[in-house]
Each structure stands twice: as C-alpha cells, then as structure tokens.
Structure 1
Amino acid sequence: MMHTRKIRLMMASAAFVTLAGPAFALDGADMMKKLSAALEVNGTSLAFDKAEVDGDAVTASGVKLQVTGQPGDSINIGDVTFEGVEESDDGGYTAETVSFADVNVSEKEDSVSVKQIAIGGLSVPGNASGGTIDDILLYESFGTGPIEVKVKGKDVFKIASIESNLSRQGNDAGFDFDATLAGLSADLSDVEDAKAKDAIEKLGVKQLDGQMTMKGSWELESGNLAVEEYAFDFKNVGRLNIAMDFSGYTLQFLKALQEANKAAQANPNKEEANQAMGLAMLGLMQQLTFNSASIRFDDASITKKALDYAGSQQGVTGEQMAQSLKGLVPIMMAQLNLPDLQNQVSAAVSTYLDAPKSLTISAEPEKPVPFPMIMGAAMGAPNTIPSVLGVKVTAND
C-alpha cells in the first residue's frame, strides 16, 4: 500500500514538472517585442530576425534599430546577447548583461568603429505605457571601448571609452546619474579651408585632447532635474561646464512628451506634425519651473592665443586687441538697456581680459520662476529677464 502511494506521488510530481516547465521557460521573442515597445515611446523601435533561448541567455539576431514611422531609417546592430535574463512579476524582463557585436562600418577610405559595447542591469518594462518607475526602460550601466572615426584612412576622431551609470535613489524617489567620455581626441590638421587652417594652427588646436563628464539627479515626485556638471575639458584650451536645475519634469510630463512625439512621428504630413509638436511643447513648458543655471569657462591658455590671432587679423597686438574689446563691450551692452547687467558684464570682461582665469554667467533667482513667467517677460519686457532670473556675470572667482 505504501509502495503504491509513493509511486502515485512520484508520478504526480513528474506531471507537475512537465506541465510547469514551459511556464517557466523564457520567451525571447516576447522580451524583444517588449523592449521594442519600451523604445517606441521615444520614437524608435527594434526589428529582429529571431531570438533564441539557452537557459537564462537570449541571443537576438538580425537586430535593427529604426525610427518609428520611417522604416527606411534604420541602423543594423546585428547580434545582441542578453545574459542572466529573468521574467519579472509584471511581465517585463531583467538582464544582468547585454553585449553587442563590434561596429565596423566603412565606405572606401572612410570608416567608423565601436568596440566592447555593453549594458549592465537592463530592466525591460512589461507595460511601457504605464506611469510608474517600473514602466520605464532602465539600465544600471552602459559602456564602450574605443571609438574611432577615419576619413581618407586617417584617424580624425577618437574616444578611448564611454562609461555611464544610473542608480535608483532610496524608496525609488528618483535617480542619480553620471557619464564620462574619456580620451576624447580630434585631429584638425587636415582641414582644407585655408582661413580655418590658419586659425587652427595659430590657436594651437590641430590636436584636441580632453574628456566630457556629466553628473546629475532626477527626483520623480517634484520632477526636479538637476544637472550639476556637463563639462568639456580640453588640454591647452579650457574647461566649459554647463549646469541647470529645473522642476516639473515628472513621469506624467515625460509620458505626455513621449505621446506628443509618437503622434508627430505617425503623422505623414511633416509640416503639420512639426507645428503640432511645437504647440505641444509650448503647452508642456507651462508645467516647468526654473531654479538655476550657469555657464562657466576656465581658461587653459586659449584666450591669449585667441586675442593674439584676432589682433593679427586687425594689425594689432593681442594686448591691444584686449584693450579694444574692453572699450567695445560697454557700448554693445548699452544698446540692450540693461544698466545693472551692463556694469557686471563690463567689469567681468575687463577683469578676465587682464588675467584670463575663469568667466561665469549664472542665473539664480531668489525663488523658483515658472516658465510661463519667463516667456511672458520675454514677450512683454525682455529687458526684465536678467532681474527675473537673477543673472550675474563674474570673472576669476
């Protein structure tokens, strides 16, 4: 009797495993379709030939990225391998790593190559049209190895590597993000235009060498998007950093923006689509609030070279050119009818030209300013914008 019971239990267990097996198997095609749906909200989509599953790995072949509504505009990506894939409770998918084939595109002596393209911690939503943090296509890291662009067989542009990271804040309050483009170089020695070639040589920028960095955060509830750093730093030129902070960029705002973009892509009448998109953007801008912004340039010898070059074109020295600019700036600013700003700009330019170190333009109002107020000031009384935004211009600080 006991023996019969054990046999029945074993048979029941076997039947359960047999029935449950297909339910837990990954559906590679479904994952690719949902990945494409998540990309469509931004105006692009994926096409693929097949998606093969091997354990927790999915390999998609013949992958193409294309602009929604324009099948002719596509980029051949080739094979894409997703590893450590799991299906989420909401019908979406996660992948520990996503790797791509190296890109090598060439035409005669011109070519572009990108190596070691990879994504880490990919999250594909089950419902890309939803309105929560889990309905957004996300990744934890993205990176590449060397990127090279050749023209007539000669290297003209290179990036040693790209690395970017996206991390969720506590309680899913938002995200912190950063990115670095390292080893950014450009060869301008083969520029053909004689005037441009002369300027490049005298400014000493035939070979550019630097990097780009970015850092910021996005708070979902308030829609506060703060870009603390968006900088280009080149050796023997200088560092240009742009920072901005505004609120209202919520998930609802993002969804409305995506829907407007999707509608524009679907409209065959491009002129009408552009007009509709413009009106939609104007309406969405009403929801944003300006907090602060700044542009700062830290000189690394380019200013003196620029003054010397500009002066040589006028038959004067670089120092004489600087003195001429110091006298010209107040005259130009006076035409704008901005007396407070005129004095700031004149003083800052004079200080900077005497000893070039840094020049900063910042806007930081006492209280956040709604975008409709800024647009109203721009149309009704443009000379009030600097005071509305709290604009300041400083040098060498």
Structure 2
Amino acid sequence: MMHTRKIRLMMASAALLTLTGPAFALDGADLMKKLDAATNANGTSITYDKAEVDGDKVTVTGVKLKVASQPGDAVDLNIGDLTFEGVEETEGGGYYAETVSFPDVNVSQDEGAISVKDILLSGLTIPANATGGTINDIILYESASTGPIAVSSKGKEVFSLESTEANLARQENDAGFDFDATASGIKADLSSVEDAKTKEAIEKLGLTTIDGALTMKGSWEVESGNVALEEYALDFKNVGRLNFALDISGYTLAFVKSMQEAMKAAEANPNKEEANQAMGLAMMGLMQQLTFNSAEIRFDDASITKKALDYAGSQQGVTGEQMAQSLKGLVPIMMAQLNVPELQNQVSAAVNAYLDGPKSLTISAAPEKPVPFPMIMGAAMGAPNTIPSVLGVKVTAND
C-alpha cells in the first residue's frame, strides 16, 4: 500500500512539473512578435533571424528595422544583435525587460561616417495588445542612453556628442508621464567649411569650434492630452542659450491613434504624391482637435550679439555700435508693414534695450484663455494682423 502511494505521489509531482514548466519559460518569438506589433503603430517593422532564450535573457540575432520616413518611402536599418536581460512576462501576455543592449553603430558611406557606442534601453515594457487604447497598450521605456556619438567627413571628425540620456516616468495613477532628456558634450568643428565668405563669417564670429549641450523637460497628461514642454534648450559656450517652451492640449491617446492610422494609410498608398496630399489633409483635420495654451522663445546672450554686430558692421564699412543704431531705426519701419501698432511698440522697445546691452530677448504668447487651433488658423487666413492679440504675444528684453 505504501509503495503504491509513493508511486502516485511521484506521478502527481511529475505531472505538476510538466504543467507548470512552460509558465516559467519565455517565448522569444512571441516577445519579438509583440515588439514588432508595438513599433508597427509608429510605422516601423522589425525582422530578425532567431531569438534564443537562456533563463531571463533573450538574444535576438540579425535584427533589421524598416522605418517609414515619409509616405511611400522607407529606410532599412541593419541593427544586428539585441540582448534583452531581466525579461519577464507581464500580466495579460506582455513583456518587461530590465535592459536591452544594442551593438555599437559604425556606418560609412561615400566620404562620411557615423559611430554610436553603448546604446542601452532600460525598463522596456512591451504591450500584449498594441491596438488597445490605454496607457498600458503603448511601448514604453524608463530610460534610453548612448555613449559617444561621432560624425566624420573626409576622415576628419566634424561633430560629436559625449553622451545622451532620456528618461520617462509614469505619473501617479497612470495620469500621464514626466520626461526629460540631455545631450552633453556637443562639439562641432566648422573649420572645414569651404565657401570663402561663410568661412570668414565663422572665423570672425568665433564659431570655428562650438561646444555646448541640449536639455529637454516636460510632461504629458493622457486624459486631457496636455503636453507641457517646459524646456527645449540649446546652450553653447560663447554663443548663448536658446530655449523653446510650448503648452498645448488635445494630444490624447485617441489623437495619437488617429495620427498613426493616417500614417499607415498614407504608407499603404503606392502613389506617393497622392499619399502626401492625403496625409496633409489628415493632419489638417487632426489639428482641429488641438488647443493652444502658451509658448515662449527666449535667447540669453553669451557674447555672440556683439560679435555679430561688429561683423555685420564691417561688411557695411561701419562699427558694430553704428550697426546697432541702424537696426534700431530699421525695426519700426519693418514692423509698420504688419499693421500691429501695439506689438510694433513692444518690439521696438525690446530691440532698443537689447542692442544697448545684450542680455536676453523673449517672445512669449500667453492668451487669457486657451485658443483652439481652428481659431488660430482662421485668423491667419482672414486677418493675420490679429494673431498677436489672439495669442497674447509679448516681446521683452533683458528681463
């Protein structure tokens, strides 16, 4: 009797292991199928040779991307091998990977070459159903980064980056996302410019080599579709900092889905001209759903203005100060043609203050109430001189 019970227990244990085993085994082919479906929504398709699983690691070889650059046209990218680590299947059939490592990029064509090192994605979430309409049906990552990026021409490095990083964080209760990005150690060598006049200007302005960084920060609220781009700035030594900010509403998941469908329809149309026209009309229609809240462009000078005035003046046979005085007289004449008296006075006062002591120049648009895009488009077509008042445009200097 005891012997029989032991046999039954062993059989039951074996059956249990047989049933539970596949639940812990990852399916590399299914992961790539769902990754392809998720990226396909943005006009990208993925092919590969094979996907091998080793515990929670998935190695995919021969990965190729086909990216739609415009309707009827696509770019093929040979990625190589991808390594997904810390992979687990999520509830509902999606996947999460702690990291995704890419091979270094080294591409040469004609006399140019580009290299990108240490490409890494962290916290990648692949949805089970990319056709759904919730935040959980979007492909997401927690961070993306690269090491050095270099571009060369005729054997000489003309552009480089030390590193890039982008971060995406879910807000509480999945209300939306906060995002930020940086590109540090941006360097460009303009000494190889061949046009004599352009080369002279570059040298006089002290722009033979430029060194700076790019920063970006913002948020997206899913339900209202509010996109608040607080900062998108380029900051270069001995030049200045140019920052762009924008706040709009209506960029919802439904809006994104409609835009993706319009892109797919255009991509499927073999007639490129017809596809571009259809895409343009679709975008015009979608723009009707957006609302303008505010925008701002600001430049903080770091000595480039005086250099530019001195150079422009030298071309006219005058000093930089004389050139500044000439511009002060020219601006009101140019603004008068736009028939916007209030804005004309603002611009003239701001330009005068800036040229007298260059510190900052700001153009902002902050209407009292959000303005639907159709109203802006109507004003642009019917009465363009009313746009500054519709958007609450202001121009200030050195504030």
> What TM-score do the two structures reach when normalised by structure 1?
0.98
Go from structure 1 to structure 2 and tell me whether the alpha carbon gap of 1:70 and 1:92 turns closer, same or farther (over 3 Å shift): farther
Distance between the aligned counterparts of 2:75 and 2:388, measured in 1?
Answer: 43
Letter of the 1:349 counterpart: V
Between stretches 66-75 and 352-361, larger displacement belongs to: 66-75
Instruction: After TM superposition, give the deviation of residue 70 of structure 1 in Å.
Output: 6.6
Distance between the aligned counterparts of 1:106 and 1:384, measured in 2?
Answer: 51
Go from structure 1 to structure 2 and tell me whether the alpha carbon gap of 1:327 and 1:270 turns closer, same or farther (over 3 Å shift): same
Distance between the aligned counterparts of 1:51 and 1:71, measured in 2?
Answer: 28
Instruction: After TM superposition, give the deviation of residue 153 of structure 1 in Å.
Output: 1.3
Residues 215-294 of structure 1 aligned to structure 2 (within 5 Å): 215-294=217-296
What stretches of structure 2 of length at least 5 have no aligned partner?
none
Between stretches 236-245 and 40-49, larger displacement belongs to: 40-49
Between stretches 136-145 and 25-34, larger displacement belongs to: 25-34
3-state SS, counterpart of residue 260 of structure 1: helix
Instruction: After TM superposition, give the deviation of residue 171 of structure 1 in Å.
Output: 0.3
The answer to whether residue 28 in structure 2 is matched with residue 33 in structure 1 is no
Deviations 1:218-270 (A, max 9, x none): 00010000000000000000000000000000001111011111111111111
Q: Which residue of 1 aligns with 2:42?
A: 42
Letter of the 1:170 counterpart: E
3-state SS, counterpart of residue 367 of structure 2: coil
Go from structure 1 to structure 2 and tell me whether the alpha carbon gap of 1:374 and 1:109 turns closer, same or farther (over 3 Å shift): closer
Letter of the 1:144 counterpart: T
Go from structure 1 to structure 2 and tell me whether the alpha carbon gap of 1:320 and 1:39 turns closer, same or farther (over 3 Å shift): same
Q: Which residue of 2 aligns with 1:157?
A: 159
Deviations 1:271-298 (A, max 9, x none): 1111111111111111111000000000
Distance between the aligned counterparts of 1:195 and 1:331, measured in 2?
Answer: 29
Residue 116 (structure 1) aligned to one of 101, 118, 135: 118
Deviations 1:331-382 (A, max 9, x none): 0000000000000000000000000000000000001111111111111111
Residue 395 (structure 2) aligned to one of 390, 393, 396: 393
Letter of the 1:346 counterpart: S
- Whether the 8 Å CA contact 2:72–2:268 is kept in 1: the answer is no
Distance between the aligned counterparts of 1:167 and 1:108, measured in 2?
Answer: 41
Go from structure 1 to structure 2 and tell me whether the alpha carbon gap of 1:35 and 1:266 turns closer, same or farther (over 3 Å shift): same
Instruction: After TM superposition, give the deviation of residue 88 of structure 1 in Å.
Output: 1.5
Instruction: After TM superposition, give the deviation of residue 4 of structure 1 in Å.
Output: 2.5
> What TM-score do the two structures reach when normalised by structure 2?
0.97
3-state SS, counterpart of residue 85 of structure 1: strand
Letter of the 2:203 counterpart: E
Distance between the aligned counterparts of 1:6 and 1:173, measured in 2?
Answer: 55
- Whether the 8 Å CA contact 2:72–2:271 is kept in 1: the answer is no
Moved over 6 A (4+): 69-72
Instruction: After TM superposition, give the deviation of residue 71 of structure 1 in Å.
Output: 8.7
3-state SS, counterpart of residue 46 of structure 2: strand
- Whether the 8 Å CA contact 2:72–2:270 is kept in 1: the answer is no
Q: Which residue of 1 aligns with 2:67?
A: 67
Deviations 1:194-223 (A, max 9, x none): 111000000000000000000000000100
Go from structure 1 to structure 2 and tell me whether the alpha carbon gap of 1:372 and 1:70 turns closer, same or farther (over 3 Å shift): closer
Q: Which residue of 2 aligns with 1:184?
A: 186
Letter of the 1:45 counterpart: S
Between stretches 3-12 and 130-139, larger displacement belongs to: 3-12
3-state SS, counterpart of residue 344 of structure 1: helix
Q: Which residue of 2 aligns with 1:21?
A: 21
Q: Which residue of 1 aligns with 2:334?
A: 332
Distance between the aligned counterparts of 1:202 and 1:144, measured in 2?
Answer: 34
Distance between the aligned counterparts of 2:196 and 2:110, measured in 1?
Answer: 26
Percent sequence identity over aligned pairs: 77
- Whether the 8 Å CA contact 2:263–2:279 is kept in 1: the answer is yes
Instruction: After TM superposition, give the deviation of residue 319 of structure 1 in Å.
Output: 0.5
Q: Which residue of 2 aligns with 1:86?
A: 88
Q: Which residue of 1 aligns with 2:55?
A: 55
Q: Which residue of 2 aligns with 1:9?
A: 9
Letter of the 2:311 counterpart: Y
3-state SS, counterpart of residue 262 of structure 2: helix
Aligned length: 397
What stretches of structure 1 of length at least 5 have no aligned partner?
none
3-state SS, counterpart of residue 275 of structure 1: helix
Distance between the aligned counterparts of 1:77 and 1:71, measured in 2?
Answer: 19
Letter of the 1:304 counterpart: K
3-state SS, counterpart of residue 84 of structure 1: strand
Letter of the 2:236 counterpart: F
- Whether the 8 Å CA contact 2:233–2:242 is kept in 1: the answer is yes
3-state SS, counterpart of residue 362 of structure 2: strand
Distance between the aligned counterparts of 2:92 and 2:39, measured in 1?
Answer: 18
Letter of the 2:64 counterpart: K
Residues 283-322 of structure 1 aligned to structure 2 (within 5 Å): 283-322=285-324
3-state SS, counterpart of residue 266 of structure 2: helix
Instruction: After TM superposition, give the deviation of residue 6 of structure 1 in Å.
Output: 3.3
Residue 360 (structure 1) aligned to one of 358, 362, 386: 362
Q: Which residue of 2 aligns with 1:125?
A: 127
Instruction: After TM superposition, give the deviation of residue 151 of structure 1 in Å.
Output: 1.1
Distance between the aligned counterparts of 1:86 and 1:197, measured in 2?
Answer: 55
Root mean square deviation of aligned Cα: 1.3
Distance between the aligned counterparts of 2:46 and 2:205, measured in 1?
Answer: 45
Q: Which residue of 1 aligns with 2:353?
A: 351
Instruction: After TM superposition, give the deviation of residue 107 of structure 1 in Å.
Output: 3.9
Deviations 1:136-157 (A, max 9, x none): 0100000000001111111100
Instruction: After TM superposition, give the deviation of residue 97 of structure 1 in Å.
Output: 0.3
